[in-house]
Chain A
Amino acid sequence: MNTAWLFVIVAALLFGIGVYGLIIAGHLLRKLFAINIMGNAIFILMVAASGSLDGSPDALPQALVLTGIVIAVSATAFALALMVRLYQLTGKATLQDDEDADD
């Protein structure tokens, strides 16, 4: 058991929590938390799996993850704007399907 293995396990757990949260969350803000947690899990996975933890640091995955963090913030900002607008127009911050559908 070394650091890379440990963080891969952490990434897997975080991703599972994110998927679970995404499915059960009612409020859209909570779904955004879940999506961001899933993203962070994948970032950890990319850096941990690149082998930079045990040997020489690998700049490629780190640069990819840096791009990913900025893109995640951009997407989150747009999603938050959509959520507030939806709340303005309908008074709800949930998706229609989440209330009707039962499966």
Chain B
Amino acid sequence: MNLAIDALIGLGLVILAWQTISGRSLFRGIVLFVVFGLTMALAWARMGAPDLALAEAAIGAGVTGALMLVAYRRLVQLHPEEPAQPNRRRSRLALPIAALAAGLVAVIGLGAVSAEREPGMAGLAVMSELADTGLGNPITGVLLKFRNLDTLLEVAVLLAAFLAARTVFADEEKSPTPPRGDLPLVGALLAIIIPLTILVAVHLLLAGSREPGGAFQAGAVLAACGVLLILSGRLQPATRMGLAVGLPLVLGLLVFSLVGLAALVMGAPLLALPGLWTVYLIETAMMISIALTLVLLFAGASGLRRGDS
């Protein structure tokens, strides 16, 4: 029965991926890609990885889908007709290469699955080491205790992607989104959804030390808040990045680096976190930075200002 559900999800993934690649319309492709991401979230839940399910639903499907839709809208705005659909490339080698790649992945995977698991493997050692850190969620523990430099640089990569995207559009004048007629229903929705979203984000952040969740999932949920505010015209993209935007943008990187350096000053190894409170401090700062970076990427702007409505 369980295997049947897994097989159904796997089949769905393969069909959705094929449709995404081979469909005619780009817009349809984006929608299918988002559905693919949500099905991936189901697959993660089935594979016993609820952290990944949350991350995939919020970041993989939600944020990526929103960014793709924004990019598509800008393509349509530049040339109002359906963006030119270049013919598919005809390549005799495509199918053999794809089959070879799939075979390679299958061989690696099947080899790894059937390999004997040694008792002294890193994963088991990590689990026993984490037992006395007070972090109930092993994923958060690994991210902040054993791979702290990776996690720090991960935040840096996200920031670098935003800065690079801004550099590409350095000389562009940003036209403000035209104010829409304020719909009473949208105002009511925002009044309910925004506090709830913030609640969920904070819960994900705090729960992240014990249960599935963490700064990245919480940041993506918080970013959804900002995206709603931009779509409803409450927040407008701005050309200049003020201190009110710039400081939170680098807050995660700043706090993480400072705490890590403080550890070095006090004689501990670089980036060793002295206690559980530093974990909460760093995760909160990271959540704010991640959310703001994602919102700015969505807005395609350097800064934000309050809307007129």
Interface residues of A in 86-103 (CB under 8 A from B): 87-88, 91-94, 98-99, 103
Residues of A within 8 A of B98 (CB): 16-17, 19-20, 23
Contact between A3 and B109 (Cβ–Cβ < 8 Å)?
Answer: no
Picked from A4, A23, A71, the residue with its CB within 8 Å of the CB of B91 is A23
Complex contact A45–B110 (CB within 8 A): no
- Residues in A with CB closer than 8 Å to B14 are 10, 13-14, 17
Total interface residues in chain B, CB < 8 Å: 95
- Contacts of A70 on B, CB cut-off 8 Å? 55, 59, 154, 157-158, 216
Interface residues of A (CB under 8 A from B): 1-21, 23-27, 29-30, 32-34, 36-37, 40-45, 47-53, 55-67, 69-78, 80-85, 87-88, 91-94, 98-99, 103
Which 5 A-B residue pairings sit nearest by Cβ, starting from the closest?
A16-B102, A21-B21, A59-B138, A8-B109, A26-B86
Residues of B at the A interface (CB closer than 8 Å) are: 2-3, 6-7, 10, 13-14, 17-18, 20-22, 26, 29-30, 33, 36, 40, 43-44, 46-49, 51-52, 55-56, 59-60, 63-64, 67-68, 70-72, 74-75, 78-79, 83-91, 93-95, 97-99, 101-103, 105-106, 108-110, 112-113, 117, 122-124, 126-127, 130, 138-139, 141-143, 147, 150-151, 154, 157-158, 160-162, 164-165, 168-169, 214, 216, 297, 300
